[in-house]
């Protein structure tokens, strides 16, 4: 499987405390109309830690059913328990997901050998293509490049979502192994593609999929003049949606545009008035 282009890490909309599956379906439709190559449900941006197992599965099912094969669905099914990650991944496969996003186990702080065994077990037992998700800012532990090299020998481990904040990691990974790299940070998409990444798992595209798609496609096609112009136009937005912990700002931005209700599950909560004002000013300046 070749993962390339724009993948939206889609939010999970809520209404009066419950997952709003109708609103989720509408969001997926808008994303496809915006030209995305894939949808990534129940990841960090989808507030997966606060969903029940049944909700988690129904979100994946809703996205798959709405997408109808018009884009890929890469379901977030990671956990800090290998057995739980296997269970969630098997459920996502049964629901029709095309691939699985596997976050580095958080809190337990596994060794590199533990990471290797964790990801290998999921790949071997579940049969879905696996996207490794390196995000040490949330999980504490980094997937070291030598570990990625070992894992890339497994034919089911096909990609790395790189969200460690370092464009240099793209070069380090690609120098060691034959695996696809996707940026996990909107602001680093352009430099990462320049170094060999094949696209991005984007938060900002929840709000402006067509503009992000144009930036990514331009860069992948070698039109870095257009891609750089779009990056510069949107850079403030890339920063603004992380003024507070993701996905608080992106949901606030989407709510301001009438795309979702601004509703979270604790411990996520609404933005402070000062940062909300700043976010809306940034959106206005970017013509959103």
Mean pLDDT of 188-202: 98
Q: Is 199 left (phi over 0), alpha (psi -120 to 50) or beta?
A: left
Q: Answer for the pair 275, 75: CB distance below 8 angstroms, yes or no.
A: no
30 among known catalytic residues = no
What pLDDT does 7 receive? 98
Q: How far is CA 235 from CA 92, 93, 229, 240, in A?
A: 34, 36, 10, 8
CATH class of 5-212: alpha beta
What pLDDT does 230 receive? 97
Q: Which residues pair with 8 in a beta bridge?
A: 39, 202
Catalytic position from the list 93, 116, 156, 161? 161
| E strand or H helix that includes residue 285 | helix 273-285
Q: Answer for the pair 187, 147: CB distance below 8 angstroms, yes or no.
A: no
Q: Where are the domains of the chain?
A: 5-212
Phi, psi for residue 95 in degrees, rounded to 5 = -75, -15
CA-nearest of 45, 101, 51 to 74 is 101
CA-nearest of 130, 80, 82, 135 to 109 is 80
Catalytic position from the list 21, 93, 116, 133? 133
pLDDT score of 2 more than 90: no
Q: How far apart are CA 81 and CA 85, in angstroms?
A: 6
- Each residue of 126-176: pLDDT tens digit? 999 999 999 999 999 999 999 999 999 999 999 999 999 999 999 999 999
- Each residue of 222-234: pLDDT tens digit? 999 999 999 999 9
Mean pLDDT of 97-123: 97
Mean residue pLDDT of the chain comes to: 97
133 among known catalytic residues = yes
């Amino acid at each position: 499987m070749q993962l390339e282009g724009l993948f939206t890490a889609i939010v999970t909309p809520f209404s009066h405390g419950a997952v709003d599956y109708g609103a989720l379906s509408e969001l997926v439709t808008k994303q496809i109309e915006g030209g995305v190559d894939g949808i990534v449900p129940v990841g960090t941006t989808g507030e997966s830690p606060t969903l029940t197992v049944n909700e988690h599965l129904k979100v994946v099912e809703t996205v798959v059913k709405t997408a109808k094969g018009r884009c890929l669905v890469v379901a977030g099914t990671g956990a800090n328990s290998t057995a739980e990650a296997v269970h969630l991944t098997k459920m996502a496969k049964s629901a029709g997901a095309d691939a699985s996003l596997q976050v580095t186990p958080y809190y337990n702080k596994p060794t590199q050998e533990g990471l290797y065994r964790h990801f290998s077990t999921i790949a071997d037992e579940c049969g879905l293509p696996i996207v490794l998700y390196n995000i040490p800012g949330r999980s504490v532990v980094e997937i070291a490049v030598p570990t990625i090299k070992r894992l890339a020998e497994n034919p089911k481990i096909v990609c790395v979502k790189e969200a460690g904040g370092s464009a240099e990691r793209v070069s380090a990974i690609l120098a060691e192994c034959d695996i696809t790299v996707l940026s996990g940070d909107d602001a680093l998409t352009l430099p990462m593609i320049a170094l060999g990444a094949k696209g991005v798992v984007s938060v900002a595209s929840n709000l402006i999929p067509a503009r992000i798609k144009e930036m990514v496609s331009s860069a992948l096609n070698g039109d870095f003049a257009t891609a750089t112009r779009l990056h510069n136009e949107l850079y403030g937005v890339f920063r603004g949606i992380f003024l507070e912990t993701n996905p608080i700002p992106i949901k606030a931005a989407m709510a301001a545009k009438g795309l979702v209700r601004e509703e979270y599950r604790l411990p996520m909560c609404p933005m402070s008035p000062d940062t909300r004002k700043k976010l809306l000013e940034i959106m206005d300046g970017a013509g959103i």
